[in-house]
Every structure is written in C-alpha cells, then in structure tokens.
C-alpha cells in the first residue's frame, strides 16, 4: 500500500495532528464527551486518546468534569478564537453570518455604523428580489427614520437625545418625529431596547419594511447594527416581528460574541444569545 503524503512529510508532526483531532471532536459536541466516545470519534485507542486528552487538560484547552470524567472545551480555546477575530475588521467578521441570514430568506441584509447624525452602510448583501430603494455600501441615511439608525442609537443618553432632536429639528422630514421634543423618539428607542430590535414600517420609503438589531463589542457598546429589508408586498409587519426579528437577533448576537461581547459580564439577558 502506498504511503500517504503526510507520512512521507518529515516536517509533519503526527502527535500534534492527533491532539487537534481530539480537540475538534470535543468541540463538535453539544455535550460533554466521554473518553470512549472521543476515542471512537477520532479512531484512536483509548490509551492514546487518554494521553492526548490529559495533555490538553493540563494545557488548559480541555476541561474534565471531576464527577463524570467527561471532557469539554475549556475557555482557553475561546481565547484562540478571539485572537483570530481581533485580526478581522467588522465587515470581514460579520460577512459570513450576514450571507447565511440573507440566503435563508432570499432578502437583502445590511450592516451599518453610526457617523454623527447619520448611518453609513458598510456592507449590503442584495438579492435578485426587486426593491424600491437604491442603496449601496457608503450610502448615508438619517438615524431617526430608519430601523438601523434606531438600533444604533437605542441606548444613547437623554442629554445626547435632547441635543440630537435640536439638530434635526430643521429637517422637514423629521417634523413628525420631533414634535413634542424628544418624547416621540424616546418612546421608539425604549421599544427598541425592550424588544431587542427596531422596526421601520414604510417610513423611509413607501413599499419597504425593515427590522434591525444592534451589534455590541467586548465593552458592551453598540458599534453597529444589522437589518433585513423586505418589500411590504412580501411581508407584513407581523412577519417581521414573528419570523425575521428572532433570526436577526440571533445573528447579531453571534457577531457580538465573535467581537468579544460577554452578556453575563455585562449583566444583560442571555436569552438573546443563540444556542
């Protein structure tokens, strides 16, 4: 039988490969894994599997339950992942999650950040579906009448909000939002905080609805927002709440986790984080 390419490669360290196989097998499971199950998954003898797993425990990459003796990945594995993600910018990190979300519904998905009193689109995954507004990466829109904008400023302070209302008061399009001072906008933002998402019901342009959810970094600050835009002919407002919003919140939560956000440390409800 011909030898494999790896067996002929003198620089290839088989023991390291075996250790990574153990780590991957443990990470692929939603539950703690027994020694026998690990050995079965990687195709090694139990004695070899035990030595490799024990080494990974000693190095801090696996945790062994003192009662069941089963294994699971340890926090140090997550540190490796965060080190990788730290080398990516927001767009690079978010793109796989946004593409997956867009493909599930065949609808347009956007990513935006705040710049002063406007939002800027930094990623836009368009579909073949016909939409009623022409936007692209780099497009700017107001904060007050967009779901993305509302998600981005949903936790701004009252003092910032008061000043913001004064700044946009001269915009005729903002008139219905600034009547009565900041009360109307404050109410909308409170609803956004309570639900975890912001809605836009044909306010930006007739015939287009959208739902957006904030994205946080490791300091728990909102650094971006993602949204799904849907022509009103294809989705009622109830569809956005019932179908699109939960999936969008889950996607935003995954991106936030990848950015280093820790909901437990921030004291926020972990229910928003997808399992």
DSSP 74-93: -HHHHHHHHHHHHTS-HHHH
DSSP 120: E
pLDDT of residue 82: 54
Could you give the CA distance from residue 237 to residue 120 in angstroms, rounded to a whole number?
25
pLDDT of residue 6: 57
For 45, counting Cβ atoms within 10 Å of its Cβ (0-12 exposed, 13-18 middle, 19+ buried), the class is exposed
pLDDT digits (tens, 9 = 90+) for 32-43: 899 999 999 999
Beta-strand relationship, 71-73 and 62-64: antiparallel
For 120, counting Cβ atoms within 10 Å of its Cβ (0-12 exposed, 13-18 middle, 19+ buried), the class is middle
Could you give the CA distance from residue 218 to residue 256 in angstroms, rounded to a whole number?
8
pLDDT digits (tens, 9 = 90+) for 6-25: 556 677 888 888 988 998 88
Report whether pLDDT(87) > 60. Answer: no
Tokens of 98: 């946004």
pTM of the prediction? 0.64
Banded model confidence at residue 273, pLDDT cuts 50, 70, 90: very low
> What phi and psi, each to the nearest 5 degrees, are found at residue 190?
-65, -40
Higher-confidence residue of 171 and 45: namely 45
Report whether pLDDT(181) > 60. Answer: no
Could you give the CA distance from residue 258 to residue 86 in angstroms, rounded to a whole number?
9
Taking each helix axis from N to C terminus, what angle separates 90-105 and 245-258, rounded to the nearest 10 degrees?
A: 160
pLDDT of residue 15: 87
Report whether pLDDT(131) > 70. Answer: no
Q: What is the mean pLDDT of the chain?
A: 82
- 13-83 has which fold? Arc Repressor Mutant, subunit A (1.10.10)
pLDDT of residue 83: 54
User: Quick one: CA torsion of 203, 208, 211, 212, rounded to 10 degrees?
Assistant: -80
Please tell me whether residue 158 adopts helix, strand or coil conformation: helix
- Among residues of the chain, what percentage have pLDDT more than 90? 34
Could you give the CA distance from residue 102 to residue 81 in angstroms, rounded to a whole number?
25
Report whether pLDDT(79) > 80. Answer: no
Could you give the CA distance from residue 90 to residue 96 in angstroms, rounded to a whole number?
11
The domain locations on the chain are 13-83, 88-272
pLDDT of residue 265: 57
Higher-confidence residue of 203 and 227: namely 227
Please tell me whether residue 8 adopts helix, strand or coil conformation: helix
Homologous superfamily of the 88-272 domain (CATH): GAF domain (3.30.450.40)
pLDDT of residue 147: 93
Higher-confidence residue of 211 and 135: namely 211
pLDDT digits (tens, 9 = 90+) for 241-256: 999 999 999 999 999 9
Banded model confidence at residue 2, pLDDT cuts 50, 70, 90: very low
Report whether pLDDT(53) > 80. Answer: yes
Q: Classify the C-alpha dihedral 260-262-268-274 as positive or negative.
A: positive
Higher-confidence residue of 76 and 214: namely 214
- Quick one: average pLDDT of 89-103? 89
- Among residues of the chain, what percentage have pLDDT more than 70? 83
pLDDT of residue 81: 60
Could you give the CA distance from residue 130 to residue 176 in angstroms, rounded to a whole number?
29
DSSP-assigned states of every residue in 214-274: EEE-TTS-EEEEEEEEEETTT--HHHIIIIIHHHHHHHHHHHHHHTT--HHHHT--GGGS-
- Quick one: average pLDDT of 205-214? 90
């Amino acid at each position: 039988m011909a030898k494999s390419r790896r067996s002929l490669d003198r620089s290839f360290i088989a023991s390291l490969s075996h250790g990574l196989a153990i780590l991957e097998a443990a990470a692929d499971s939603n539950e703690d894994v027994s020694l026998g199950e690990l050995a079965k998954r990687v195709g090694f003898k139990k004695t070899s599997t035990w030595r490799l797993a024990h080494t990974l425990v000693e190095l801090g990459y696996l945790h062994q339950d003192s009662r069941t003796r089963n294994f699971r990945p340890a926090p140090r594995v997550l540190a490796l992942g965060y080190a990788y993600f730290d080398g990516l910018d927001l767009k690079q990190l978010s793109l796989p999650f946004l593409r997956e979300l867009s493909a599930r519904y065949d609808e347009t998905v956007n990513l935006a950040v705040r710049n002063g009193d406007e939002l800027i689109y930094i990623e836009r995954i368009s579909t073949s579906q016909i939409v009623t507004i022409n936007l692209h990466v780099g497009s700017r829109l107001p904060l007050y009448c967009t779901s993305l904008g509302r998600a981005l400023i949903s936790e701004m302070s009252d003092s910032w909000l008061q000043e913001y209302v004064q700044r946009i008061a001269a915009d005729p399009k903002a008139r219905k939002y600034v009547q009565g001072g900041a009360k109307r906008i404050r109410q909308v933002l409170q609803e956004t905080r309570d639900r975890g998402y912001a809605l836009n019901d044909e306010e930006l342009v007739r015939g287009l609805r959208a739902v957006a959810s904030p994205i946080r970094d490791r300091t728990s600050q909102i650094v971006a927002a993602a949204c799904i835009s849907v022509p009103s002919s294809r989705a009622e407002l109830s569809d956005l709440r019932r179908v699109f919003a939960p999936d969008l919140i889950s996607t935003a939560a995954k991106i936030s986790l990848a950015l280093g956000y820790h909901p437990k440390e921030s004291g926020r409800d972990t229910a928003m984080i997808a399992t």
